Structure 1
């Protein structure tokens, strides 16, 4: 009998420990994921040669009522070492407008928020045809004050009009 109790304890305790470490993702819970990056050449988009992900960037999630434009929900987080961030939202935001937006770069050499890449709209309700509880926000970018010297070659490669940069 004692062996049976010990065997049950050895089987149940690890299962409880694993369950306790997992975040509770309920029926109404949604997870918003995205990335932050630095645009070295001020292209306004990411490339393997002209951008890198920024760890420690501050990102904010804000939901507003569509009629009154009052903030109904707000949360802030920082990107991890790979530039990825995540928000866990435990309630449905039915008919609200929710945006993820850049707040501050952790990279002193890439401090400026890229115009047009500073926020991303996300839908945080379950009545939209999206089966997954995970919502992916567009990657959002910062840029350097002055483009690097090798950017002129990349401009030719990507055929970006210099007036756009």
Structure 2
């Protein structure tokens, strides 16, 4: 009797362990940062600041047909960081994080260039990436007016005041 109880408890424990491992298999975490582009050059400089309270949205759409399979929003913390849980394998989808809203009215402009306000992420186990955390490229809202110190900041980097390499 004792042997059968031990065998039953062992089998139940093994089943629970396999169930937990399986349920974690298709769970991902998309992480990234949002900053204020103080020089309006569409890359991070020492004049840039990370934004707290900015809203981003993760959307996955089927490649064929374009139906939305996942849509979640997140708000950045005091370091400008966000984290979005994504359940399911989205191998047949295009997944992108986009800017939604800035909490800073002076730094709330979204670039018209598509790739300046979105970051594509791979949310599948079939990508060669073993870590469930997916890192999205940093996203930026632009300041309404360039800061006065931007001219010097860009000169130090070898750019003219428009952000063009000289």
Deviations 1:54-106 (A, max 9, x none): 01100000001101112121111111111100011121112100000000111
The residue number in structure 1 matching 2:41 is 43
Distance 1:106 1:43 in 2: 20
Asked if residue 104 in structure 1 is aligned to residue 101 in structure 2, the reply is yes
Root-mean-square deviation (CA, aligned residues, Å) is: 1.5
Distance 2:120 2:150 in 1: 30
Stretches (4+) displaced over 4 A: none
Work out whether residues 97 and 119 of structure 2, in 8 Å CA contact, stay in contact via their aligned partners in 1. Answer: yes
Unaligned runs of 5+ in 2: 1-22
The residue number in structure 2 matching 1:145 is 144
Deviations 1:133-165 (A, max 9, x none): 000000000111110111111121112233457
The residue number in structure 2 matching 1:121 is 120
Which stretch shifts more, 142-151 or 106-115?
A: 106-115
Unaligned runs of 5+ in 1: 1-24
Change in Cα spacing, 1:113 to 1:126, as seen in structure 2 (3 Å) is same
Distance 2:162 2:117 in 1: 21
Q: How many residues align?
A: 140
What TM-score does the superposition give when structure 1 sets the normalisation length?
0.80
Secondary structure of residue in 1 paired with 2:24: coil
Distance 1:40 1:136 in 2: 23
Work out whether residues 43 and 160 of structure 1, in 8 Å CA contact, stay in contact via their aligned partners in 2. Answer: no
Distance 2:57 2:51 in 1: 15
